[in-house]
Amino acid sequence: MSAPDAIEVPLQRKRLGVMLGINLVCVLAALGAAVGLFAFHMAWMVYVFVGAMVVGFGAHVWLMVGLAHGARPKGSV
């Protein structure tokens, strides 16, 4: 039995950086939407908040799927 190939650290580090950048933008957008919703009573800001949350969680999923895909042995499906 052979051990699975190691993950590609530079690629995963780049993925992590991209994910952190996306999450930073999403947090700022969600905070702005929360301020707009609660302080200025703009009800449509709920959609901006939910969109930022979905994109942020999507970035996490993208990172985890890429990490799991990178840890698989070559040639597996």
* pTM of the predicted structure, to 2 decimals: 0.84
Question: 2 lies in a domain?
Answer: no
Q: Tell me if 1 sits within 8 A of 61, measured CB to CB.
A: no
Q: Is residue 12 within 8 Å of 67, Cβ to Cβ?
A: yes
Residue 1 within any structural domain of the chain: no
Q: How many structural domains compose the chain? A: 1
Residue-level pLDDT, tens digit, the chain, 77 residues: 455 567 889 999 999 999 999 999 999 999 999 999 999 999 999 999 999 999 999 999 999 999 988 877 666 65
Tell me, yes or no, whether 77 lies in a domain: no
Which residues constitute the domain of residue 41?
11-71
In a domain, 4, yes or no: no
